[in-house]
Structure 1
Amino acid sequence: MLDEFKTFIARGNVLDLAVGVIIGAAFGTITKSLTDDVIMPVIGAIFGGFDFTSYFVRLGPVPEGYAGSLTDYTALKAAGVPLFGYGAFVTVVINFLILAFIVFLLVRSVNRMLARMEKEKAEGTARPAAEAAEVVLLREIRDELKNRPAPEAATIRPTSL
């Protein structure tokens, strides 16, 4: 069973998938930071300086003894207040759209590169390879020899003895 597991793990597809998941997780973190730290503040500034995560609806009561702000989504959520956080959802949707667009650009670039490589490969097989200089020279010599007039045949005369 251990040998089968080693064979399974050693397959290229499984390793590629593992690398893809790890890179995807790291890329997701980068995209989340891009959304939360760069894009959303700019959008907030454009639309009057608000933070999308501050848009929510309380669905239940605030626990007694809660001393935080009633407009702080994170603090209310940590206190166990049921919330309908549509602002946080908007942030996640924007994060997804950015990630999907970046993946689209990557796939588009790879497809164009593969198409270019296929085109070059097809053109390369259609054209004959350039001949070596020696072959061209030998062909010219042969053609020149064919075009020369044939020398007169030497006649052998019998001699008397």
Structure 2
Amino acid sequence: MSLTHTDQNGHAHMVDVSAKTDSARVARASGRVRAAPATLALICDNGLKKGDVLAVARIAAIQAAKKCWELIPLCHQIPLSGVTVEFELDHDNGTIHIQAQCKTTAPTGVEMEALTAVSVAGLTLYDMCKAVDRGMSIDTVRLETKSGGAGGDWHRGAQA
């Protein structure tokens, strides 16, 4: 197996996808933010001065997916046909679970867009809540599934 973002001389380069055909592609990523129980209560009660934390984080995540190619140097600019972002608050474990799904019909996949959406959602949650909880942490950002393209389908837990 070789890395696709290096040329024969080992130099970084953008992969040429011009010969690839468009295909439907979907990627889903997840991550989590750990926060104090009081912080989760403030989020649920819309009690933070900055406003609706989850709404702002959702919009930030969608915007990040759309701008992934501007943030990650070797990503292609691809047309996104859909981005969904969901949050689940787990009060017992002090966790906000984040899931993002990105869809496209393009010659390259949307894994980076989904991962970027989750990452920026977590950063936005931190930014919105840091005045009351600087001890929050963002972790376990990872790809869960991808489908489409020459590589076919991949699901976390299905790898050997």
TM-score by length of 2: 0.28
Which one has a larger percent helix, Structure 1 or Structure 2?
A: 1
Larger RCO (alpha carbons 8 Å, 6+ apart): 2
Which one has a larger percent strand, Structure 1 or Structure 2?
A: 2
Q: Is the radius of gyration larger for structure 1 or structure 2? A: 1
TM-score by length of 1: 0.27
